[in-house]
Amino acid sequence: MSDKKVVLIVMDGVGRSANGIGDAVGEARTPTLDKLLKECPHTYLRAHGEAVGLPSDEDMGNSEVGHNALGCGQIYSQGAKLVNESIASGAIYRSKAWEELKSNCLKGGTLHFIGLLSDGNVHSNISHLLSMLEESKKEGVKRARVHILLDGRDVPATSALTYVDMLENKLSELNDASFDAKIASGGGRMKITMDRYRANWDMVKAGWEVHVHGSGRAFPSAKAAIETYRAENEGVIDQDLPAFVVTENGQPVGKIEDGDSVILFNFRGDRAIEISEAFDLADFDAFDRGVTPSVKFAGMLQYDGDLKLPKLFLVEPPCIKNTLGEFLVKHGVKQYALSETQKYGHVTYFWNGNRSEKFSETMEVYEEIPSDRVSFDERPWMKSAEITDRVIEEMRSGEFGFIRLNYPNGDMVGHTGNMDATVIGVEAVDLALARILPVVDETGYTLVITADHGNADQMLEKNKKGVLQPRTAHSLNPVPFIIYNSDVKKLTAEGKVGLANVAATVVELLGLKPMDCWEPSLIEG
C-alpha cells in the first residue's frame, strides 16, 4: 500500500471560455485559481463529445458522463450514442421491454411516453421519441399519448415551441383512422417530474398528478399552455414553466389508466430514478399517489443497476468495469467521497461506473451535505463552506489515501442563467480553494483540481437574430487540470487528452501502476 495521498477537487461546470462572451469564470475574482494556473503544472482536458463517449464532438458533456470518465479511466459509449446504436440496429424494438409494453397495448391499452422534449442529448433526444412513435404505429399500437417536459437548460432557454412544433408535425403525419396520438400533459423540467437525489419529491408528485391523473391547469394544446404561461410570467424560461394538462370537451386527453403502458424516454439516470420508483415500486411511500393504475412501465435505460430500477428497460446500459474506486480498494487505499446533495451521486454512483453500492464498506466512506431547497441563484455559494469544512477535517485526520469532492456551484448556478449569481458561485469555489491549499501543505496531500464539463464559462449566446441572450446549457469548452504540491514538472499538452486520462494520473500520483485498459496518465515529467 502506498503512503502517498491525493485529494481531487471537481469544480463542476468550470471550463475555459473560447471568446470571453458571457464568461462568469473570467469575470469572477479568482486569485487562488489564477495563482495555481500561473505557478503549477497544468493542462486542459476535453470534456465533451467523443472524449466522454458521446456520438460526436457537437455533443455537450455533462456531469454524469464526465464523472463516469473521471472514475473509470476509459471511454464508453454513453447516453444518446447507446440509444442511437440500438435504434439503428433495431435492437431496441426486439428488447423484452418493448415486446411486453407493445403486447399490452395491442390488448387495448394506450402507450404513453414521458420525457424531456429537446435534442440536447444530455437527458434525451426528441429523435428517439419520434422513432418510437413511428414504430408504435407500424407494430399495430392504436393510441399513444406524450407527456412532455420542457427543457431550456441543455438547449436555448426559450426554445420549447420549436420542439413542440416538431412533435406536433410528426403526430399529424402519423395520425389517421388506425392511429391516434396526442400531447397529453407537460411542464418545465425544474417544476415537475425530473427531481434528482430525492431533493424535492413535491416536483415528482406534481408530475405524477398531471401525467397520471390529468389533474392540473387545463389548456387546449401544449402551445397554448406555453404561450399563456410566458405572457403571465415575464422573463420565465422553459425549465421553470408550470405544469399543464391538455383537455378536450373538458376532459384530459391522456390520463394513465389500468392496462396502459408507459415509457420514460430519458436515457440519463439521475433525474429519471424518482419517477421510475413511483411507477415501479409497489411499496412506494414518498408521496400519496392516489389511485395507482396497473401499467407496464419501462425506462429507456436501467437507471440504477444495483436497485434494478426500472425492472424493464429498452436499451442495455454500458457495462463499466475496472473503475478507479475498485482498483484503489484492491490496493488498500482508503477513500472518502464528498459533495452536497446536487452532486453527491456524481462522486459516488457515477464515479463508480453507475454502481450504487460501495466496493468495500470498510475502505470507503461517502458523505452527503444536504443542498438548500431554493433556486441556486438565490444562494450561489451553495454548500461550499460546509464541504470545505469537512474535507479539511478529513485531510487532517490522515485516514484517507484518496479524497474526492465536488463543488457544484459553477454548474448548478450556471444553469439558472443568472450571470451575476454565477460569478459569485465561482468566487465561492475559489475561496474554498484558498482555504484548502494551506491544509494541503500542512498534511502532505497532493492536490488535483479539474472539472467535469464547462458551463459557467459560457453564460450568453447569440440567437438567430444575432442578439445575445442568457445561456443555461453546458459548453463545449475544455476544462482545467492542475496538480499542486507534487514533484510533477510537466503534463501532456492540451489536445486529444480528456477526462478519462485522470484516473491513471491519480494512481501514478499515489505511487501505483495504472491499469493497462485505462487511458494513459497525463504526467510526462
Name the catalytic one among 2, 17, 63, 521: 63
Question: Can you tell me whether residue 440 is helix, strand or coil?
Answer: helix
DSSP-derived letter for residue 520 is P
Dist CA 239 CA 116 (whole Å): 10
Q: Name the nearest CA neighbour of 454 among 48, 5, 19, 33.
A: 48
Q: Name the nearest CA neighbour of 108 among 147, 142, 131, 137.
A: 142
| Sequence-distant (≥ 6) Cβ neighbours of residue 296 within 8 angstroms | 100, 101, 104, 109, 260, 261, 262, 312
> At residue 2, what are phi and psi to the nearest 5 degrees?
-75, 150
> At residue 110, what are phi and psi to the nearest 5 degrees?
-95, 140
Dist CA 66 CA 47 (whole Å): 7
Helices (H) and strands (E) in the chain, counts: 16, 17
Q: Name the nearest CA neighbour of 419 among 26, 109, 137.
A: 26
Within 13 Å and on the Cβ side, how many CA atoms surround 446? 21
- The answer to whether residues 121 and 60 touch, using CB atoms and an 8 Å cutoff, is yes
Cα distance between the two ends of the chain: 23
- 63 tagged catalytic: yes
Q: Are strands 402-407 and 446-450 parallel, antiparallel or unpaired?
A: unpaired
Dist CA 252 CA 467 (whole Å): 39
**DSSP characters for 140-190?**
T--EEEEEEEE-SSSS-TT-HHHHHHHHHHHHHHH-BTTBEEEEEEEEETT
Catalytic residues: 63
